[in-house]
Amino acid sequence: MSPRGEHLHYVDLVRVLTVGLVIGLHVLALAPFAPGVPIGALIIVFHVSREVFFLLTAFVLTHSTARRPRWPEFWRRRYLFVVVPYLLWTVVYFLADGGPYSVVSFRTELLTGTARYHLYFLLVSMQIYLVWPVIRALIAATRRHHRALAAFAVAYQLVFSLAGQQQWTIGALSGWLRAPDAWLPSYLGYVLAGALAGAHREELVAWTRQHVRVVLGGCLAALALGAGVYLAQVYLGGQPPLVASTVFQPVVAVESFAVAWAFLALGLVWTERGTPWRGLVRATSDASFGVYLIHPLVLQYVLLGVTAAGFTARPVPDAVALPALVLVVVPFVYLVSGLVTAAARRTPASLALTGRARRRRKPARVPELALVQSGGTP
- Residue 11, classified by CB atoms within 10 Å of its CB into exposed (0-12), middle (13-18) or buried (19+), is middle
Angle 267-271-273 from CA coordinates, rounded to 5°: 115
What value does the mean pLDDT take over residues 1-23?
85
pLDDT cut 70: percent of the chain above it: 93
pLDDT (mean) for 337-363:
89
pLDDT given for residue 183 in this prediction: 96
Q: Is the dihedral of CA 251, 254, 259, 262 positive or negative?
A: negative
Binning pLDDT at 50, 70 and 90, where does residue 365 land? very low
Predicted TM-score of the model (pTM): 0.91
Q: What is the mean pLDDT of residues 317-346?
A: 93
Structure confidence by residue, pLDDT tens digits, 231-280: 999 999 999 999 999 999 999 999 999 999 999 999 999 999 999 999 99
Instruction: Render pLDDT for 75-120 as a digit per residue (tens, 0 to 9).
Output: 999 999 999 999 999 999 999 998 889 999 999 999 999 999 999 9
User: Taking 70 as the threshold, does the pLDDT of residue 352 lie above it?
Assistant: yes
Alpha-carbon distance values, 175 to 168, 172, 207, 310 (Å): 10, 7, 41, 41
Distance of CA 225 to the CA centre of its chain: 22
> CA-CA distances (angstroms) from residue 186 to 157, 160, 318, 378?
8, 7, 33, 53
Confidence (pLDDT) at 99: 80
